[in-house]
């Protein structure tokens, strides 16, 4: 089994909905165990992050970047950065903001950079903008490549947010990371025969 851990923050529940969609996507891939943790749960669950084959980071975009609680989580990974404990794990990310752009590209860049600092391997979204999805939904309507970017419009509680196409985009990201983790785990377990004999 490959193990995926989704770590997220959500101040008002919108990013949590996206996290659950990412979780459903990851769980849809056979041979995958998925654990979803909010940043306040991490302190007592570090072993699950350390034991995962892939970590998926999710945060709302606040003031053009990751939210303060998510940043506190990222900063708390410093000892793992120092020992490169997460080196060669897969990583991916998603975010959600009030505006169609809302500068959330910056949030995804922050997440990818932290993954790179840990020596992790970043998995992109892998969808063209407005890619056809299930039930006629257009996936990746925001046109991101680094990760999943959703929008939950301000002040419209009657509107489901993020909308179904953004949740389906999150599902696709979760499934993509889970498929990559299965392949990655198989590859990591194979003896490097040819390379070893050439060395």
Ligand X SMILES: Cc1cc2nc3c(=O)[nH]c(=O)nc-3n(C[C@H](O)[C@H](O)[C@H](O)COP(=O)(O)O)c2cc1C
For ligand X, the binding residues (CB under 6 A) are 10-15, 60-64, 96-99, 102-103, 152
Tell me how far apart the alpha carbons of residues 135 and 125 are, in angstroms, rounded to a whole number: 20
The nearest distance, CB 14 to ligand X, in angstroms, is 3
Tell me how far apart the alpha carbons of residues 24 and 189 are, in angstroms, rounded to a whole number: 26
Tell me how far apart the alpha carbons of residues 167 and 159 are, in angstroms, rounded to a whole number: 14
Residue 194: cis peptide before it, omega within 30 degrees of 0: no
The nearest distance, CB 97 to ligand X, in angstroms, is 3
Tell me how far apart the alpha carbons of residues 69 and 136 are, in angstroms, rounded to a whole number: 36
* CB closest to ligand X, residue no: 102
When the beta carbons of 136 and 155 are compared against ligand X, the nearer one is 155
The nearest distance, CB 193 to ligand X, in angstroms, is 47
CA-wise closest residue to 100 among 61, 145, 158, 126: 61
The nearest distance, CB 117 to ligand X, in angstroms, is 23
The nearest distance, CB 11 to ligand X, in angstroms, is 3
The nearest distance, CB 194 to ligand X, in angstroms, is 47
The C-alpha angle with vertex 130 and arms to 126 and 134, in degrees rounded to 5, equals: 85
Write phi, then psi, for 91 (nearest 5 degrees): -145, 155
* C-alpha distance from residue 112 to each of 13, 74, 133 (Å): 23, 12, 25
């Amino acid at each position: 089994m490959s193990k995926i851990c989704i770590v997220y923050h959500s101040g008002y529940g919108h990013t949590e909905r996206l996290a659950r969609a990412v979780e459903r996507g990851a769980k849809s891939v056979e041979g995958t165990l998925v654990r979803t943790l909010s940043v306040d749960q991490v302190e007592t669950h570090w072993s699950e992050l350390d034991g995962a084959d892939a970590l998926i980071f999710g945060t709302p975009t606040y003031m053009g970047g990751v939210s303060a609680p998510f940043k506190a989580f990222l900063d708390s990974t410093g000892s793992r950065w120092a020992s490169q404990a997460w080196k060669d794990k897969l990583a991916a990310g998603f975010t959600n903001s009030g505006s169609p752009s809302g500068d959330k590209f910056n949030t995804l860049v922050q997440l990818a950079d932290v993954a790179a600092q840990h020596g992790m391997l970043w998995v992109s979204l892998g969808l063209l903008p407005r890619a056809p999805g299930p039930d006629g939904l257009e996936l990746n309507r925001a046109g991101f490549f680094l990760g999943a970017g959703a929008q939950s419009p301000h002040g419209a509680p009657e509107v489901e947010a993020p909308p179904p196409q953004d949740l389906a985009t999150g599902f696709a990201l979760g499934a993509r990371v889970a498929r990559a983790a299965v392949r990655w785990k198989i590859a990591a377990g194979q003896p490097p025969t040819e390379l070893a004999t050439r060395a």
